[in-house]
Amino acid sequence: MRINWGAAIAVVYITFATATVSFVVFAVGRPVELVSADYYEQSLKHDAHRLAMTNADALGEAVRIAAAEDAPVIEIAIPVLAADGAAQARGQALTGTVTLYRPSDRTADRVMPLSLDGDGRQQIRVEGKAHGRWVVKLAWRAGARDYYRERTVWLP
């Protein structure tokens, strides 16, 4: 059986067109979520954000964000005196927020206040949260300095 070249070209064209239309239908049906709804406003604050990251990096590994292996909690540790000893001496408290960011589902995101105990630690209960990848965004202010640290944690 022989197929002439005209029929072969038609089959290839129809196959290509069907695949293209199928992909377009698939892509249109997928949700498109921006990383942030106010990304333009955040881009204007980029320099201050980079400075806050540099300030937190200067503290080194003293600032820890990790998921506990034996319990459904995320542990945060910020040595209170290491953050800004001068601010602590003036009696200024450390203030900030902890954001649990779920890259695959923005409806699961949670923002809560940073409330450290006397040792500079906080535990966040995460039972009932979706398993998998979460990004913990820690932003705080001590004295006149802003700090920002971000870590990826995996919840079992």
Q: Are residues 11 and 55 in the same domain?
A: no
Q: Do 49 and 7 fall into the same domain?
A: no
pLDDT-above-90 percentage for the chain = 22
Backbone angles phi, psi at 53, to 5 degrees: -65, -40
CB atoms within 10 A of CB 133: 13
CA gap 64, 70 in Å, rounded: 17
What per-residue confidence (pLDDT) applies to 87?
A: 47
pTM of the model: 0.67
pLDDT at 45: 84
Residue 23 shares a structural domain with residue 57: no
Question: Do 69 and 19 sit in the same domain of this protein?
Answer: no
* pLDDT for residue 1 is more than 50: yes
Q: Which of 17-26, 36-45, 59-68, 146-155 has the lowest mean pLDDT?
A: 36-45
Q: Which pLDDT belongs to residue 106?
A: 77
Look at 89 and 58; give whichever has higher pLDDT.
Answer: 58
Q: What tens digit of pLDDT does each residue of 110-121 get?
A: 899 988 887 888
- Count of domains forming the chain: 2
Query: 21 and 44 share a domain?
Result: no
- Considering the domain architecture, whether residues 23 and 46 belong to the same structural domain is answered as no
Average of pLDDT values for 133-154?
89
Indicate if 6 and 66 belong to the same structural domain.
Answer: no
Task: Kindly tell me if the per-residue pLDDT of 11 is higher than 90.
Answer: yes
- Confirm if 52 and 147 have CB atoms less than 8 A apart: yes
- Length in residues, the chain: 156
| Residues 109, 86 share a domain | yes
> Sorting pLDDT into bands at 50, 70 and 90, what band is 81?
low
Sheet order of strands, 121-125 included = 64-67, 73-77, 121-125
- Per the structure, the complete domain to which residue 107 belongs is given by 39-155
Domain shared by 58 and 90, yes or no: yes
Mean of the per-residue pLDDT values of the chain:
82
Same domain? For 74 and 21 the reply is no
Question: What mean pLDDT comes out for the span 90-96?
Answer: 68
